[in-house]
Structures are given as structure tokens and as C-alpha cells.
Structure 1
Amino acid sequence: MDRRANVFIACSPCARAGVSTTARLLTDYLCFTNAEPLGFDTDPLEPCYAPYFPDRVHVLDATDIKGQIALFDGLLANQDRAKIVDVWHRSYLRFFETVQDIGFIDEAHRQGIEPILLYHADASRNSLEGVLALRKFWPDMAIMLVHNEGARPLEPDEAEIFQRYPVQGKFVIPSLPIPVARSLADSSVSLQSFLRSPPQEMSIVVRASLKAWVSSIFAQFQSFELRRRLESSPYL
């Protein structure tokens, strides 16, 4: 599958699930691998994704008609570029109601675009019911589970709950020590630039920890891309 035709929808019905972090990481990964993704941040009040990519990510309100036009028309345009949507938890229900009402998934497929859900999960019943509802409406849509261990840690007896999620695979965003996480919160920190040339003024300990963290996540994205390409190959 051509990565340029993908629309990645990072979402969760729950707050503080790490959705914006994943949108940021995926955008940096695609830029690091010489792609030119476009992003959409659907939190018009306190956007957490857009500040990291002011020239690449559009902020809009997915609950009003103007924002919906900008979002869904934008996802179908510029098919030579991957798209990433950060779905604010407060607009989650309205977002997917609109997806269903306008037939976005079918239209995307007709235009050769593959929507891929990055569903951020936790141990709550609300999280499981949310993904089951999405699978019921769109049984053939690609859904990847994302577990942000720092945002939504699991108790030992909760680890098996993700086996009940009807998904094609799983991304794990490991937790970070607090000093490293603080450095990551700076909107001037570009992860793609960090990997190419780590800032010398940053603590050597923080640099090493952040590099290992980013590299492990980028490796997961790369494996996902390779697997999708193999699945779509006519020669296998």
C-alpha cells in the first residue's frame, strides 16, 4: 500500500489517552522518512498537536459545519500526501457520526484512500465499547490499538483486556521518566530533527533516553508499513 494514500485517525472516547502524542510521533516519523504529511487538530480551544507543526497542521472544530467541510474535504484532497487527524475526545462522537452520515469511509475507498484508525485504549468499559461500536459500523476498516503506557497505565490484572479488542495490531507508546517527558513537551522540540542531530545543550542522559524511546516507536511504525505493503503485494 502506498503510504501517501493513508488517512490516519488518532482517537479515543476517553480524555488523556495520548492521542495527540501519537499524532505528533507519526507526523515526525513520516517527515523523518521524507514524506510530507498533512495534519488536522480538532481541538479548537487548546490544540495539543498543531503547535508542534504550525505549517503542517490545521486547527478546526469538527462539531460545526465549517470545520467538517474543511476536515473531510481536506482528507480527500492532496492524495499524494498522508493525512493525520487528532480527534479531540469531546468531538469524538460527533466526528464518527459525521463519518457515518456522509459515507466518508466508502468515498475514501472509492478514491483509493485507506482510512486507518489508531484507537487509543485503556482498561475502561467505555474504551472497549467504543471500539466494538466502530467495528460494528465498519467491519472491514483497519483499526490499530494504541496503548500509551504513561497516559493510561494498566494494573497487572488488566493486561488481558486488550485481547478482546477487534483490531489488526497494536502500537505501544512506552512511559518516560518525568525529566525526559518535560523535554518532550517543548513545542520547539522536533523529534525528526532530534534524531538527525540531538541538541548538545540537552543532558546526555535525557538525550539517550529520548533517542531510545523515539527509535522504538518509529521502529513500530516502520514494521506496520512493511506489513501493510506485503499484505497488498500481488506477488505474495
Structure 2
Amino acid sequence: MPATPVYIVCSPRPQIGKTLLARLLSEFLLLKNGQVRAFDISVREPALIDYLPAITETAEIEDTYGKIQLMDQVIINDGMAKVIDLGYYAFGEFFKMSEEIGFLKEAARRNVVPIVLFCAEGDRVSTRAYDNLRRHIPMSQLIAVENDHVLREELPALFTRGRVLRIPALPLFLKTYIDRYSFSFTGYLRQERDQSTELYQWIRRNYYALREIETGLVMQRS
């Protein structure tokens, strides 16, 4: 059986576009594969479960039971991609737990591949957190996300030493439009007849970039 990917969308900072990326990724995987499981550990922020309640469930890692329950569900090589929207307040605890239980080694043993999508920012908290992650996570499984909605300057050099996923900015009125709970990226692609619109091209471009990540995963495991 091919490896099962577990995408961990994260940042130690709030308001960084993390849930937007988790939405894009979840809808892309659902469109491509017909199924995906998403876990929301960001209920103190605009939550993934509010946008995609049909495929998302909440998870907690504040106690041992919650940690075990989450890991039991994401460490399974069942062929269904998983997406974890990791809230900034749980960032440190999640990766501390992962290291303590040997998550990466156990995932490799079970043919599960964690992919960390780190939403980058130029502040000291973000750079230190990323630098620590790259000491423990293989660079092929760690991707810095350059979100033009958030970054007002060039991506710091530290992040460019590995893989980078760029999310282009949208005009404010379109950003407000896609932030509605009822909005669906795939739904828009299916309903919009004019494929030249800025939003249509933006979604297509991001879906293509996410497909490249998944294709790279398959090539690594072949």
C-alpha cells in the first residue's frame, strides 16, 4: 500500500493564514482523492471545523487521553490523507509530544509520512521555532509556507534553505469573500464559467502547487 500522508499545518504565531492553507489543502485532497480526514486543534482561532464540518473533527492535546486519541487516528496507514490544523497555542506541546513518543520513527515503521507545512513569518518566535523543527524533521518533510497575505517583506533566508510553498496574495475584497464560512474553493471552480477571473486562477495555482507536493511525496516513496 502507498504511504499515507499526514499534513501538519502549523505556526507558533496567530493570524498567519494557517487555517486558510488547511482549508485549501483539505478541499484539494477531497477533490483529488474523494476522501480526507481533518483534525482541528485550533478552536481558539477561526476554526477549520467551521468551514469544513463534514470532514473535520476537533482534537485536544492538553491531556494524555487527548494525545493518544489523536495519534491513534493519524498513525494509521489506511490510504486516507490526514490534515491537522494545529493552533499556535498548541504548537510547542504538539511537537514536544511528537518527539517524546517517537512519532517520526513510528510513522516511518507504519508507512505514514508526516509533512509539516510551517507558515513562516520574519519574527524571532517563528524563525526560532522553524530552526528547531529542521533539526528534528527531515527537510523533505518540512515545507516553509510563504503567505503573501501575511509577509510584508522577503522570506528570511533561513526558510529558503529548504522547500517553500508560496501562497500569493488576493485583493482585500476577494480575501473577505473567501473568508465566509459558506465559501468552497472547489465549489467555486465548478460553478465559475469564466476561468480567467483572478480568484479562479488563484485557486488553480494553489491546487497545482499542492499537487506538486503530493507528487513529490509519491516519488520519494517509489
TM-score, normalising length from structure 2? 0.90
Partner of 1:17 in structure 2?
16
Structure 1: which 5+ residue stretches go unaligned?
A: none
Whose Rg is larger? 1
Retained in 2: the 8 A contact 1:41–1:60? yes
Partner residue in 2 for 1:71: 70
Tell me: CA distance 1:227–1:180, structure 2 relative to 1, closer, same or farther (3 Å).
same
Equivalent in 162, 186, 196 of residue 190 of structure 2: 196
Where does residue 202 of structure 2 map in the other structure? 213
- Aligned-residue CA RMSD (Å): 2.3
CA distance, structure 2, for counterparts of residue 211 and residue 62 of structure 1: 37
Q: Taking structure 1 as the reference length, what is the TM-score of the superposition?
A: 0.85
1:67-99, CA deviations, whole angstroms, 9 ceiling, x for partnerless residues? 212211110136220000011001111111111
Deviation at 1:190, TM superposition (A): 1.5
Aligned pairs for 1:80-229 within 5 A: 80-139=79-138, 142-150=141-149, 152-155=150-153, 159=154, 161=156, 163-165=157-159, 168-198=162-192, 208-229=197-218
Task: Rate the CA distance shift 1:141–1:94 in 2: closer, same or farther, 3 A.
Answer: farther
Counterpart residue type for residue 27 of structure 2: D
Does the C-alpha gap of structure 1 residues 70 and 144 become closer, same or farther in structure 2, counting only changes over 3 Å? same
Note closer, same or farther for the CA distance 1:195–1:160 as it changes in structure 2 (3 Å cut): closer
Q: Determine the structure 2 residue equivalent to 1:31.
A: 30
Residues 57/78 of structure 1: CA separation in 2 closer, same or farther (3 Å cut): farther
Identity of aligned residues (%): 27
